[in-house]
Amino acid sequence: MRVYLTHTPEALANYYGDRALAALRAIAEVRLNPTDRHLAGRELAQAAVGCEAIICYRQSPGEAATFREAPALIAFLRCAVDIRNIDVAAASAEGVLVTQATPGFVPAVAELVLGQMIDLARGIGTAAASYHRGEVPPARMGRQLAGATLGIIGYGAIGRYLAPLGRALRMRVLIADPQARPEQPGLEHAPFETLLAESDFVVCLAVAAPSTENLLNAAAFARMQRGALFLNPSRGNLVDEAALLAALESGHLAGAAMDVGRAPDQMPSPALAGHPKVIATPHIGGLTPAAIEHQAMDTVGQIRALAAGRMPEHAVNAAQASRLVRLGVRPLG
């Protein structure tokens, strides 16, 4: 089986890894993207000509032109959970299977959130930066996590992992999610407005969807306690960045941390990330060897299944993937 990896050389090292690449090469003929560009559309189809599968990095979208212009293509595998940049309807119309990976990044993202919470509370990064400049920073009063209230917006995989960590730190933990309620003892389910009003730390882990666009807007920030701290490790489109900036400038919020934003590749917006009350990281929440290898190995397992004539796990449009018959796989449905 012939497989094309869209990852650039830098992305291949950071977001696929040597072990996964070796495992993939053991079961398939692998063609790599030798450029430093993220291919898409017809150009991607041309680069992957003759390949039965494409494994895509997050910056290579699954566009209609790719599925239409790649007659040999049978499967388009997303090496991540988020498939919003894949036109699944177009893939289905051409009979191309779309798959996704499972969330191996949950502990990594939750740990980053904890680190950012502590940094916001104690000013570690600011003090270190002063020392690096040869300056002696003032000894500033910090805030303690124990006894504080942690509000988690969204009770998905990361929220479920983060909540008991907050409890272990002796924090009161509030959960706001209209679709899920916490079962663990010690966690409180609360309306969104109540969570905002009562939390010292607000962590946005809501699902990115049209209904949650700018969920954290001027009204939401106004409901938060004066001096509260806000963290967004989820998706940039959940936050009205102008409203967040205004809340920081006015002093209503004491600080914010973000690993995502509205800049390209879901990066924090540089103007907001550079604010003195903001801690920003360049979309590294899931960037640990364990997390990356988990998702890469999901794609290896999917290719292994396809090569053996089996439907792979985590197929998105199995019933419409008519090209699978070329591999002896019967579409579901």
Residue 333 lies in a domain: no
Q: Is the domain of 173 the same as that of 256? A: yes
Residue 223 lies in a domain: yes
The amino acid present at 220, given as its one-letter code, is A
d(CA 36, CA 6): 10
Q: Hey, is 233 helix, strand or coil?
A: coil
Chain CA centroid to CA 13, Å: 18
Count: domains in the chain:
2
The kind and range of the H/E element at 201 are strand 201-204
Domain boundary among 280, 302, 319: 280
Over the chain, what is the mean pLDDT?
Answer: 96
Chain CA centroid to CA 6, Å: 18
Q: Where are the alpha helices (DSSP H) in 236-288?
A: 241-250, 270-273
Residues ≥6 apart with Cβ < 8 Å to 148: 171, 172, 200, 201
Q: Is the domain of 119 the same as that of 257? A: yes
Residue 106: count other Cβ atoms within 10 Å of its Cβ: 20
Residue 149 lies in a domain: yes
Q: Are 72 and 49 in contact (CB under 8 A)?
A: yes
Q: Is the domain of 77 the same as that of 34? A: yes
Q: Hey, is 175 helix, strand or coil?
A: strand
Domain boundary among 280, 299, 314: 280
Residues ≥6 apart with Cβ < 8 Å to 63: 40, 41, 44, 87, 90
pLDDT at 147 exceeding the cut of 70: yes
What residue numbers bound the domain in which 174 lies? Answer: 106-280
d(CA 64, CA 260): 27
**Residue found by looking up tokens 């599925």 in the block:** 67
- Which pLDDT tens digit goes with each residue over 206-217? 988 888 999 999
Q: Is the domain of 204 the same as that of 230? A: yes
- Which pLDDT tens digit goes with each residue over 166-199? 999 999 999 999 999 998 889 999 999 999 999 9
Q: Are 252 and 224 in contact (CB under 8 A)?
A: yes
d(CA 13, CA 201): 34
pTM > 0.85: yes
| pLDDT score for 265 | 87
Which of left, alpha, beta for 156 (phi over 0: left; psi -120 to 50: alpha)? beta
Q: Where are the alpha helices (DSSP H) in 48-150?
A: 64-69, 88-93, 106-122, 124-132
**Residue found by looking up tokens 């663990």 in the block:** 184
pLDDT at 332 exceeding the cut of 80: no
Q: DSSP assignment, residue 266?
A: G
- Which pLDDT tens digit goes with each residue over 39-67? 999 999 999 999 999 999 989 999 999 99
| pLDDT score for 321 | 96
The kind and range of the H/E element at 75 are strand 75-78
Q: Is the domain of 93 the same as that of 115? A: no
| pLDDT score for 160 | 96
Q: Is the domain of 89 the same as that of 116? A: no
Q: DSSP assignment, residue 152?
A: E
| pLDDT score for 208 | 85
Q: Is the domain of 216 the same as that of 180? A: yes
**Rounded-to-10 torsion of CA 199, 154, 272, 112:** 90
Q: Is the domain of 75 the same as that of 153? A: no
- Which pLDDT tens digit goes with each residue over 276-315? 999 999 999 999 999 999 999 999 999 999 999 999 999 9
Give burial (CB, 10 Å; 0-12/13-18/19+) of 279: buried
pLDDT at 330 exceeding the cut of 90: no
Q: Is the domain of 44 the same as that of 131? A: no
Q: Is the domain of 178 the same as that of 272? A: yes
pLDDT at 255 exceeding the cut of 90: yes
Q: Is the domain of 26 the same as that of 165? A: no
Q: Confidence class of residue 333 from pLDDT cuts 50, 70 and 90?
A: low
Q: DSSP assignment, residue 199?
A: -
Residue 71 lies in a domain: yes
Residue 8 lies in a domain: yes
Residue 332 lies in a domain: no
Q: CATH number, domain at 193?
A: 3.40.50.720
Q: Is the domain of 89 the same as that of 154? A: no
Q: DSSP assignment, residue 86?
A: B
